[in-house]
Amino acid sequence: MYPSDSEPLEKQELLDALERHMGVKPVLHCMKKHGEAAKLLEVRVCFNPKLEMISCYQQGMNKGEIDITAGWKVENSIPCPDKLILPRHQNS
């Protein structure tokens, strides 16, 4: 799996790779402009009160996991669809 500004990636493939590496399930949020493919914006990782990484809440997951949004919405940030772009890093 490599970054690409044009080739879509399966969201589940990225989630599986991140879970294998981190040992927990993160949440992926994307930025989507009208007429364009969704691009990965954030990989959200959750922690318990002891600052240990835990799996984040996602639709259909266990009740013991938490909803990390707490009612907040990042502007232009949406849960990633099934296919997304993993953009190349842009140097400033």
Q: What is the pTM of this model?
A: 0.75
92 or 13, which is more confident: 13
Task: Say if CB 55 and CB 65 are below 8 A apart.
Answer: yes
Are the C-beta atoms of 43 and 37 separated by less than 8 Å? no
* Other C-beta atoms lying within 10 Å of the C-beta of residue 13: 12
Helix (H) or strand (E) holding 55: none
Ramachandran area for residue 60 (φ above 0: left; ψ -120 to 50: alpha; else beta)? left
Phi, psi of 28 (to 5 degrees): -105, 130
Domain assignments of the chain as residue spans, ordered by start = 31-84
- Is 13 in a helix, a strand, or coil? helix
Residue 56's pLDDT is 84
pLDDT bracket for residue 75 (50, 70, 90): low
Q: What are the pLDDT digits (tens) for 19-63?
A: 999 999 999 999 988 888 999 999 999 988 999 999 886 554 444
